[in-house]
């Protein structure tokens, strides 16, 4: 990536583990991985059928709304998703 002029801003897992032990920080990588896993359940996002960026962004917002709705447990007796 350095050859193309890009700089990675991601920490390796080893650096994260070192900071957890030495500084007492908690790991936060799982939050992002969990969220990507939830979003990948929506086939339209996983494959990206939408050609326009506006339509794709609208579908991302819809998927996040559905995930939030399911997480709240509202109408849980109706939806067995």
pLDDT (tens digit, 9 = 90+) per residue, 33-57? 888 888 888 888 888 888 888 999 9
Angle 20-64-40 from CA coordinates, rounded to 5°: 75
How high is the mean pLDDT of the chain?
78
Q: What is the residue whose two structure tokens read 């059928």?
A: 49
Angle 72-74-76 from CA coordinates, rounded to 5°: 105
> Is residue 81 predicted with pLDDT exceeding 60?
no
> Is residue 61 predicted with pLDDT exceeding 90?
yes
Q: Per mean pLDDT, which of 29-33, 37-41, 70-74 is the most reliable? A: 37-41
DSSP, res 27:
P
Q: Which residues contact 19 (CB under 8 A, 6 or more apart)?
A: 25
Instruction: Give the residue with greater pLDDT, 69 vs 20.
Output: 69
The pLDDT score that the predictor gives to residue 64 is 92
């Amino acid at each position: 990536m350095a050859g193309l002029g890009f700089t990675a801003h991601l920490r390796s897992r080893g650096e994260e583990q070192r900071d957890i032990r030495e500084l007492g920080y908690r790991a936060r990588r799982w939050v992002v991985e969990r969220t990507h896993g939830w979003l990948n359940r929506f086939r339209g996002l996983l494959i990206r059928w939408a050609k326009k960026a506006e339509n794709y962004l609208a579908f991302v917002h819809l998927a996040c709304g559905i995930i939030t709705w399911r997480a709240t447990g509202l109408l849980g007796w109706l939806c067995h998703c």
